[in-house]
Structure 1
Amino acid sequence: MGQSVVNAVEKPFLMSVEDVFHLQQGRLVMPAGRIERGRVRKGDEVEIVGRGSGVTARVVDIDASHVRIDEAGADMNVGVLLRGVAADAVERGHVLATPGSISAHVRFVADITLMSEDQGGADVVSGDRLRFYTRSAALWGTVTLHGVDVVRPLHGAEVTVTLEEQIALEADQPFAFRQRGRAAGSGTVRRLRR
């Protein structure tokens, strides 16, 4: 009688940085946020990805509500203590990740859908500068429409987005955007571009 074996492959670690604390006169940096997937352990090497970063650092300790723990997993809110990282190397909007598991980009193809006019949706045309929100990052970008001249409220389209700064991106990542200071719509990253 055969026995079924489940091959449990752990997903790479990914945490969105929501805040950064500087400890011991700046010798330690503690990015804090929610772990999106995978696990992180004391001693692990992590990569800081986004907005011109890309440095790696070793995890010195993990803080969960002022309690030091040896490891943390998905859906936990933690602080990850890093030593030897420049004070400005990590900021809100970055991610901490397993080295090489995610990269930073400025261009991507996405499907977007606009909200109704009552909710803040307004016509979008190629060249519009919108404010994009994904994970804990918020930054400006310009859209180029594919196959249509205008996207109207309650409609959708495929677009190319060119951001003004690099952020950690991957396929199927959701985002929201604002136009003229108002919530305007949402979308999903389909393909990353160089």
Structure 2
Amino acid sequence: MPVEDVFRRGRLIMPTGRIERGRVREGDEVELVGFDGATAHVTGIDAGEPPMDEACAGMNVGLLLRGVTAGAVEQGQVLAAPGSVAAHAGFAADIILLPEVHGGAEVRTGERLQFHVRTAVVSGVVTSIEDTEALQPLHQGAVTVALERTVALEVGQSFAFRHHGRAAGSGTVTRLPRGAA
């Protein structure tokens, strides 16, 4: 479940979001993947009335967590079964740039872009794998990306990116480094 927002409920922390796959039950241990990461135990599930003991894919929920502090849970992290998703600070991808009329701009090797992966927004440096130094609007290419912070990533994961504050294009993760970053 990508964390969309974080609330405090007394001494408990409640991240909210939409469950992408699988299910979660009261008492389950979950891992916060990305950024600094942590593990916690689910003490309750808030999906409106009546209270629930279990939630599954497609549901928007709040999970009451014990064992983490408010600062350890951030928008952009992913709650998952321990070990099921890894965090990475770099990846290879195929990207396509928007046309100029829709805000696309030339993207040069070494430029900093803002990457939007699920609910995470992370800056990173792009490097073209091909022989060109720059990708032009409406073109596509293979690149590597070095992120400033780790985020939960999987091969096939889609993302969007911004260049100088404007939407610039989108892409798909094609390869991840071996092991978690």
TM-score class normalised by the smaller sequence: over 0.9
Partner of 1:138: 121
Q: Which runs of 5+ in 1 are unaligned?
A: 1-14
Partner of 1:6: none
Candidates 153, 156, 160, aligned match of 1:176:
160
Whose Rg is larger? 1
Partner of 1:159: 143
Deviations along 1:141-186, one digit per CA (max 9) or x if unpaired, are 1000011222111110000000111111111000000001110000
Partner of 1:11: none
Deviations along 1:91-118, one digit per CA (max 9) or x if unpaired, are 1000100000011111000000000001
Distance in 2 of aligned mates of 1:67 and 1:131: 40
Q: In angstroms, what is the RMSD of aligned CA positions? A: 1.0
Candidates 86, 101, 111, aligned match of 1:118:
101
Question: Where do 4+ consecutive residues of structure 1 move more than 4 Å?
Answer: none
Deviation at 1:65, TM superposition (A): 2.4
Identity %: 59
Distance in 2 of aligned mates of 1:146 and 1:96: 32
Partner of 1:50: 34
Distance in 1 of aligned mates of 2:73 and 2:58: 21
> Which one-letter code corresponds to 2:57 in the other structure?
A
Q: Which runs of 5+ in 2 are unaligned?
A: none
Deviation at 1:66, TM superposition (A): 4.8
Deviations along 1:42-84, one digit per CA (max 9) or x if unpaired, are 111110111111x211110100025420111111100001112
Q: How many residues align?
A: 177
Distance in 2 of aligned mates of 1:162 and 1:85: 28
Deviation at 1:139, TM superposition (A): 1.2
Deviation at 1:87, TM superposition (A): 1.4
